[in-house]
Structures are given as C-alpha cells and as structure tokens.
Structure 1
Amino acid sequence: MIPTKPIAQDGFTIARGVLPSETLAALIESSILPEDGRGGVRNLLDIPAFRELADSPQIRALVEPILGTEAFPVRGILFDKTGEANWKVPWHQDVTIAVTNRIEASGYGPWSIKAGVQHVQPPAQILENMLSVRIHLDDCPASNGALRVISATHQYGKLSQAEIEAVVLQQVPITCEADAGDALLMRPLLIHASSPSTVPSHRRVIHFDFANVELANGLGWRERKTPMLAGLNHA
C-alpha cells in the first residue's frame, strides 16, 4: 500500500494493493451503477458504504501524509467505462468543486449545475490544497482506458485550454495502468486525459476528492460530512 513515489514533484503516484479482493467485491455489490449508458454516478458520498470507505484507515493513510490530519472528503464520483459508455476525455485539469449553494465570492466562477448540484471553479489556491484518490475496482490496463497524465504540470497553476494543449505538445504522457485494488493519487491541477477502451469491459473507478481548506464567504463543500453522518467511522 506504499505509494510508488512521492507526489510533490510529479503530481501523482500509485499505491498498490490498497484494498483486498473481498472489499472490492463488497463495493461492487453495493454500487449504484450508472443507468442509461451514462457511465458515472455523482454525489457518491451520500451513500453510506462509500462515505465509510472515504473515511477508512486505508484511505486516510494515503491522504494524511499529503494533506495532513485535518483533511476531509469533499466529493465522490463512480465511473464505469463499458462498451455502452466508452468515452474519451480530452486533456484537462480538474478545476470545479461541488458546493452547497451559490454565493458570490471573489475569485469563484464560472458556475454550473451537474446532477442538480451547484459547481464552481474556485481560486487556484483551493485546488492546490486538494488531492484526488482514484480507487480501481477492476484491472485498468492501457487497453481499458487507463488515465494518462503529464507529469509535474500541477506546478503550472490553473491553465487555459490553449495553454494546456501547448503543454501537451511539448511533453510525453505517462499511462497510469493499475490493477484492481490499486489507488492513483493525483493533484487536481495535474493535466490528464483518458482514451476510450479498445477492449471494452468494466472500468469501475471510485474518485474521491479531499481538501484541507475552507471556502470563502460562507460557501460550503457539498459532500463534506454533516452532523447526520457523524456516527460513521472515520480516522
């Protein structure tokens, strides 16, 4: 479960064997799988099994050395790339967060609504204090749409699409192949993409975002733990 390399320089790392096969089977059994070929489920932290996973010792052990003990989960998404939902994601940075409601604040915007939830682009400083943990429920070789990244680009700050495309032309992508139970850790501002599967099968990935900062002007993280969830296990 030890990450293959430090994340600070490259902006990503892979931790091998984070979850055992029996845990993976239980998560797959409890999963609310995407419907109508959409390939994804948002607001995953509203589901107790996934909230417990985000707060589990195995995941906290990955997050805390990077963000500290005050880090908390703020968003969960389940992706399932199959023959019916076999999409391509172009080169981009993850620059939006899910919030409880719309409150205008300096540096926050533009706004959007996804699955009925308000999303906004926060200042780069917020994104620099976040970490994404992508847990693979299935083997994910290059042929099954493994994530590709441009190393160290999280250090460039928040980029325009034209700037992203210029960077990609100058560097060699790295394909992050993973086995079931492995976790890919990455900074949201790392430039990344994924191709359609050439041999489509399930490519179920649980994507958790963690943060260790508060938002401005009374804005709240949409999926941050509320008092109603206080009884769930956490470390």
Structure 2
Amino acid sequence: MTKQYIQNHKQYFLEKGLTVINSVFSDDEIEKITKCIRNADTSRENFRKSDDLFAVRQFLKEIPEAKDLIFNDTIKTIVKQLFGEKYFAIKSIYFDKPETSNWYVAYHQDLTISVDKKLEIEGFGSWTTKKNQFAVQPPLPILENICTIRIHLDDTDEYNGALKVIPGSHTKGIRRPETIDLKTETEKFCDVQKGGVMIMKPLTLHGSNRTTDGRRRRVIHIEFSDMELPEQLQWSERIN
C-alpha cells in the first residue's frame, strides 16, 4: 500500500467524508478475528443477544485478544497517514446483522461520544447512561475531529445492509435528517469486500436498508481522535 495510494484516499476522505479501502486484512486474519469473537464469554453485560442482533459494546476491552489482530501494520499506517500521528482509539463496537434480521436504519449522524463519568461541562449535553456507560453529545469541534474505521468481516453490498451515505454531508455541521434533499444531494452505497474497511467521519449522514438476500453482515466499528477532553472528563475506552 503505497504512500501515494493512501494520500489519494485521504484527499477523497476529507472531501467526501468517507472512503473504502479493500484487502486490508487477509482471509486468514479475518478467520482469526472471528474465532476470537466466537470463543468469547457472551454472558457479560456488554454482549447484547437477541434473535436478530448480536452486538458487543467496548469490543476491544471485552475481547482484548482481538486487539493485536486488528491493529496490523496496514491499519496502523492508515490511522497515521489518513488521520494523524497522534490519533488513538476512543470507542469500539462489534455488531452482526444476521441473515434472520431485517432492520432498517434511517439516515443519521453519530453525535455522541463514550466517556468515563457524567460532569456538567459547558457545551456537553444530551447525556445518557446505560449500565454505567456514559454517552454525551460534545461540542462540534470534537465531533469534527473523530474518524471511524469499519472493518468488514463479510462481503457487504446494498443487498445485505451496506451503509448508504450522503457524500460531503460531514462539512455542514449537525443536520436533521429531514433536511436531506435527494434531488440535490447524492446517495451512495458503500460496497466493501470481506477484509476491507470503510473509513468515515461521524458527521457524514449514513443509514442502511433492510437485507434482501439473506447474507449476514458483521462489522467492527472503531472510532479515533487525537483530542483530550476538558476538565476531568476522559474517553471511556481510550487505547493508544
């Protein structure tokens, strides 16, 4: 993966708020990652299970043996060259959209961050708490600084729930989904091959359609930042 190749992706990413890079993980690496997930103790509270959903919050903390497999040389290079030298992981989720599941996700932006405690700080609002995990909407500059990598463990296209996005929408601040005008804004499906990654800004408007062909879609979602939070507030999942 040449420096010029990464620079081309960086330019597109900054302009459009997303990019897709395939062949980041080999089939063997993906098999090792999925084996870690299969072997995990799913009885803990950060594991959510139902007939149509399997998700793991704080994924890198809950399944630490996956960390070295995920942060291979290619991912480290992508983080440093696309985002910046000092970026670190701040949030991680694994989710499986199984073949039995058929939910639809409307267009939205990712507007909250995970932190270690609740504090009254100017500019931080809409607090939520789930099982001692605190989420808050921070000031816009913090959201604009975050970059997300979505690692795909399966081939994903518009027929099994690939993300659809509005390219360039990350440059317009916080937007309500009803302001989207598909007559003037372009909608794009982000096909990603097994072992590939989709990289996006959380403010890029995104959603996904129902699965129509019965294939599963497993994704590891990791957010990165290089900003420190104000006062005594800390990122709850910080991993350098």
The secondary structure found in structure 2 opposite 1:148 is strand
Judged with a 3 Å threshold, the aligned counterparts in structure 2 of structure 1 residues 27 and 221 are, in CA distance, closer, same or farther, namely: same
Normalised to the residue count of structure 1, the TM-score between the two structures is: 0.88
1:86 corresponds, among 102, 105, 109, to: 102
Partner of 1:113: 129
State the Cα distance separating 1:54 from its structure 2 match: 4.9
Alignment of 1:1-235 (within 5 A): 2=5, 5=9, 6-31=12-37, 32=40, 35-37=49-51, 38-46=53-61, 47-114=63-130, 116-159=132-175, 161=176, 164-169=177-182, 170-225=184-239
Does structure 1 retain, via aligned residues, the 8 Å contact 2:146–2:224? Answer: yes
State the Cα distance separating 1:223 from its structure 2 match: 0.5
State the Cα distance separating 1:196 from its structure 2 match: 1.4
Letter in 2 for 1:17: S
- Per-residue CA deviations over 1:125-154 (Å, capped at 9, x if unaligned) read 001111000010001021100000000010
- For residues 219 and 84 of structure 1, the distance between their equivalents in structure 2, rounded to whole angstroms, comes to 40
- For residues 160 and 80 of structure 2, the distance between their equivalents in structure 1, rounded to whole angstroms, comes to 30
Letter in 1 for 2:49: E
Q: Please tell me the root mean square deviation across aligned C-alpha atoms, in Å.
A: 1.8
The secondary structure found in structure 1 opposite 2:29 is helix
Letter in 2 for 1:182: G
- Per-residue CA deviations over 1:210-233 (Å, capped at 9, x if unaligned) read 0010111211101003xxxxxxxx
- Per-residue CA deviations over 1:80-119 (Å, capped at 9, x if unaligned) read 0013333211100011111111111111111012454110
State the Cα distance separating 1:51 from its structure 2 match: 2.8
Does structure 2 retain, via aligned residues, the 8 Å contact 1:153–1:190? Answer: yes
Does structure 2 retain, via aligned residues, the 8 Å contact 1:134–1:206? Answer: yes
The secondary structure found in structure 1 opposite 2:125 is coil
- For residues 67 and 93 of structure 1, the distance between their equivalents in structure 2, rounded to whole angstroms, comes to 19
Question: Which segment drifts farther, 74-83 or 144-153?
Answer: 74-83
Letter in 2 for 1:188: P
Does structure 2 retain, via aligned residues, the 8 Å contact 1:154–1:190? Answer: yes
- Per-residue CA deviations over 1:161-206 (Å, capped at 9, x if unaligned) read 2xx3222433121000111011000001000001111112220001
Does structure 2 retain, via aligned residues, the 8 Å contact 1:81–1:200? Answer: no
- For residues 62 and 168 of structure 1, the distance between their equivalents in structure 2, rounded to whole angstroms, comes to 33
- For residues 215 and 174 of structure 1, the distance between their equivalents in structure 2, rounded to whole angstroms, comes to 33
- Per-residue CA deviations over 1:36-79 (Å, capped at 9, x if unaligned) read 23332111120213333454322121111232111000111111
Q: Specify every segment of 5 or more residues in structure 1 that has no aligned partner in the other structure, as ranges.
A: 226-233
Does structure 2 retain, via aligned residues, the 8 Å contact 1:150–1:168? Answer: no
Does structure 1 retain, via aligned residues, the 8 Å contact 2:20–2:198? Answer: yes
